[in-house]
Structure 1
Amino acid sequence: MAKPVRGGTPLLPYAGPVTPAELSRTVVRVVRSAVDEGALSVAGDVVPDAVKVERPRPGGGGDYASGVALKLAAAAGLPPRRVAEVLRRRIADQPGIALVEISGPGFLNITLDRGGKDRVVRRVLEATASYGHGDALLGQSYDFAEAREERARVVTDVVVRLLRSQGALARTVEHGGQVLPLVACPEPRLRELVGVDAARWAMLRPARHDRPRIEVDELLAQRESNALFRVRYAYARSRALTRNALELGFRGEVGPVPDGEILLGLLSDHPGVLESAARHQAPDRLARQLEAVADGLLRFQHGVLPLGDEKPSAAHRNRLALAEAAGTVLAGGLSLLGIDAPEFL
């Protein structure tokens, strides 16, 4: 059970690239500011603690969309588009925001500053394994019961790690504490059969309410159908690209990567995924994110190094930095799951 803790600090404006988690907090801050200034007249308890921002649906514009204006309209006594207009101007003034438009009944479509998107790579490389960690749950305290069943023990361990990554105080206690509801692992000897890392992945990848799929041969397979193998292989490839680039005499350098939009988007989404996984106590969300980043990196990797007699260029240096950032996210995510990230595979 979450309990408030005194001493939390107010959220501060972000600097540099805008991540979905930061964008959500920015929208909340803008809503509160509009209420405090009298631009919106709603009761204080109507102002949300969190706002969902997501990729626009087909036909929508911008990088992210939010329906917060529709949720506030009734309490404000205004049409949703009128509420959206009040918020649009304020959000557009925030750093890292290029454009805010209103669509449909009152959706806010937010376009990020493109330079900020490129700087996501720099931020990942500077933060290393802590990229995506934040203070979204600062002031919250969680006690979990010590688990005896193997899957419950592993899931509780990772949930504690995720909550701590978002600023919460989280621990396991011998007496009392929250018991996470989940489906137990059907194979009590799983660690002995496949090893610690594969066993943890098998128990963490499904949602807590889903039964783990135990196929020993597949969990041990060194092939693309094995999701854990793909994630670890992608990380190992990122390290190999760095080594190969050094042999060719160049290093990664942050800059625009026109053909890296998908991978950049996944890295930008990562802080929001971590926050969501922590809030919902759902390690499977992080596991799925790592799969997506790994698949994106494995598709992207082929253009990182020069081919044949080609000389290393700024484009190669920029692509290498993006690949290294993706590897950093994979290593940090695997660490939160308690799984090793080998440099050679």
Structure 2
Amino acid sequence: MTPAQLAAALRAALLNAVEDGTLALDPAQVPAQVHLERPRQREHGDWATNVALQLAKPAGTNPRALATDLAARLSSTPGVAAVEIAGPGFLNIRLDTAAAGELARTIVEQGPAYGRGDSLAGQSVNLEFVSANPTGPLHIGGVRWAAVGDSLARVLTAAGARVEREYYFNDHGAQIDRFARSLLARARGLEAPEDGYGGQYISDIADRVIADAAAAGEPDPRTLDDAEATEAFRRRGVDLMFDEIKASLADFGVHFDVYFHEDALHSSGAVDRAVARLRAAGHIYEQDGATWLRTTDFGDDKDRVVIKSDGEAAYIAGDIAYYLDKRERGFDRVVIMLGADHHGYIGRMMAVCAAFGDTPRVNLEILIGQLVNLVKDGEPVRMSKRAGTVVTIDDLVDAVGVDAARYSLVRSSYDTSIDLDLDLLAKATNENPVFYVQYAHARTVNVARNAAAAGVRRADGFDASLLDHESEAVLLGQLAELPRVVEQAATVREPHRVARYLEELAGAYHKWYDQRRVTPFGDEEVSDVHRTRLWLNDATTQVLATGLGLLGVSAPERM
């Protein structure tokens, strides 16, 4: 029996109680999904629910009395061994061995579909992450968003949402100008501007701009006047830098559906249209020669200048137009992932959301990530040889590999700072979390190989009642959790829940492996015990592979 089947049985019991008048509720008040959770102490049963506590007050009854009635109704459900009442009205439910063990067959038969759900079905999500300016290699903060954002997109999709990954390409503004001037200065053998960019990558890109111009039969851009030369280095340099970023992200397993150019918002008239719409809604006013958005009406600490007195669009103008553009493209959820220095951005953008008639933190969500610190040999790693001032995505991958990098960046909540120990992540030991989980998967595959060699075949038999050892109950309980973990991770936007779940599952599997054999020992004959355990082993293979896939991490078959 799966948790979904047990929840359905509980809901049926509640509806029966409503129908016969025992429970004074309207059928619409019965929750569509009864919440179940694993008891903290195994002796309390397989599943627990507080649904009697939730419904007793609106029904005008005592929680324990309602729990007693539900226990009696549920105890006759096939597969339920016992229902106990705890405290003021909690229900602790114990499944019989056969019902619990059936989950192994369910998982194997469902394959990759197991764990996927429809809790977010019908939601269209635009997920914007990374969006680093193309003025240098992707640094470690952006790498964290690459790992977390891509994993979140996978989790949201697994929960039924339609997700579009979007990269906001900042090709408009002062940072790009400084980048172009830095390239030109380096090409001419001069020091970078005081507010410019340094690092070996600037020399590399400047050299490529010159080489590309020569290959195309164009004039050496260094010989052009300053304005033309700056434009030449800007135009080609930005493309080269962004190509590098995209290549690094692709090597990291991260791909985007849309690369949206900031400049398009200004050149297409999107900014003017957004301002006009807000003006028509009465939220725009003129003061001191500038155009203002009255964001204080929606909780912001001050009103914001949208068009400056010189006629130039303020930075927020692009943000306003960009949000509206996403909504007009049909996305009902706009999720933006930003770095730790963007807290001040939240209030103004939630005000913009409200000014358009939308609901802040529903139609618009802003996730703020915290810093990543790298440690090697007990000392902080502060500088990249190539970038000069920051540690880049390529530095991290070179040090520990893609799998360890992605897993380690995702396994902690994005809103907490993390220290990554490069020495630990390079170790092939159980201290290394990604190795611990991947090794569990490789071990399940090896068990299946050995079983096949010994003549143990799933197709020859399955008897769920034979999965009667404590370690099997624990492992089955962990396997049953995947759908709930995926749904929660998607709902609260926390893919790290998947990583922590996988570590618990790996631990349960390793303990089971130490206590139960899938292959016959010595002269022992192959029996349904071995075949049934193979089903459980292979169910674990599937769930580990699914979970690792949600994190964008490989599931190796040998280690």
TM range, smaller chain: 0.7 to 0.9
Partner of 1:214: 420
Alpha-carbon distance, 1:153 to partner: 2.6
Output the amino acid matched with 1:129: P
Correspondent of 1:270 among 471, 482, 485:
482
The superposition leaves residues 216-251 of structure 1 with CA deviations (integer Å, 9 ceiling, x where unpaired) of 111111011111111111111111111112222222
SS of 2:372's equivalent in the other structure is coil
Partner of 1:249: 455
Partners of 1:224 and 1:273 lie apart in 2 by 23
Partner of 1:126: 109
Correspondent of 1:143 among 126, 134, 139:
126
Partners of 1:56 and 1:299 lie apart in 2 by 19
Q: Does 1:258 align with 2:485?
A: no
SS of 2:102's equivalent in the other structure is helix
CA contact (8 A) 2:85 2:91 kept: yes
Rate the CA distance shift 1:147–1:86 in 2: closer, same or farther, 3 A. farther
Correspondent of 2:549 among 320, 335, 339:
335
SS of 1:210's equivalent in the other structure is coil
Rate the CA distance shift 1:95–1:133 in 2: closer, same or farther, 3 A. farther
Partner of 2:164: 171
Correspondent of 1:301 among 500, 503, 513:
513
Alpha-carbon distance, 1:127 to partner: 1.4
Rate the CA distance shift 1:314–1:94 in 2: closer, same or farther, 3 A. closer
Partner of 1:280: 492
Partners of 2:481 and 2:109 lie apart in 1 by 17
Choose 266-275 or 168-177, whichever is displaced more. Answer: 168-177
Output the amino acid matched with 1:214: L
Partners of 1:33 and 1:163 lie apart in 2 by 34
CA contact (8 A) 2:100 2:473 kept: no
Rate the CA distance shift 1:237–1:61 in 2: closer, same or farther, 3 A. closer
CA contact (8 A) 1:98 1:112 kept: yes
Rate the CA distance shift 1:94–1:178 in 2: closer, same or farther, 3 A. farther
SS of 2:480's equivalent in the other structure is helix
- Compute the RMSD of aligned alpha carbons: 2.7
CA contact (8 A) 1:43 1:75 kept: no
Partner of 1:183: 370
Partners of 2:126 and 2:10 lie apart in 1 by 30
TM value normalised by structure 2: 0.54
Choose 325-334 or 145-154, whichever is displaced more. Answer: 145-154
Partner of 2:308: none
The superposition leaves residues 109-160 of structure 1 with CA deviations (integer Å, 9 ceiling, x where unpaired) of 2222432211111111111222111223323333322333221232122122
Identity among equivalent positions (%) equals 38
Rate the CA distance shift 1:64–1:229 in 2: closer, same or farther, 3 A. same
Output the amino acid matched with 2:476: L
Partners of 2:42 and 2:522 lie apart in 1 by 42
**Unmatched tracts of structure 1, length 5 or more:** 1-16
Correspondent of 1:233 among 430, 435, 439:
439
Partners of 2:17 and 2:165 lie apart in 1 by 40
Rate the CA distance shift 1:298–1:33 in 2: closer, same or farther, 3 A. same
Rate the CA distance shift 1:23–1:283 in 2: closer, same or farther, 3 A. farther
Output the amino acid matched with 1:18: T
CA contact (8 A) 1:239 1:327 kept: yes
Partners of 2:462 and 2:439 lie apart in 1 by 23
Partner of 1:5: none
Alpha-carbon distance, 1:36 to partner: 6.8
Partners of 2:491 and 2:422 lie apart in 1 by 31
Partner of 1:14: none
Partners of 1:30 and 1:115 lie apart in 2 by 22
Higher relative contact order (CA 8 A, sep 6+): 1
Output the amino acid matched with 2:468: P
Larger Rg: 2
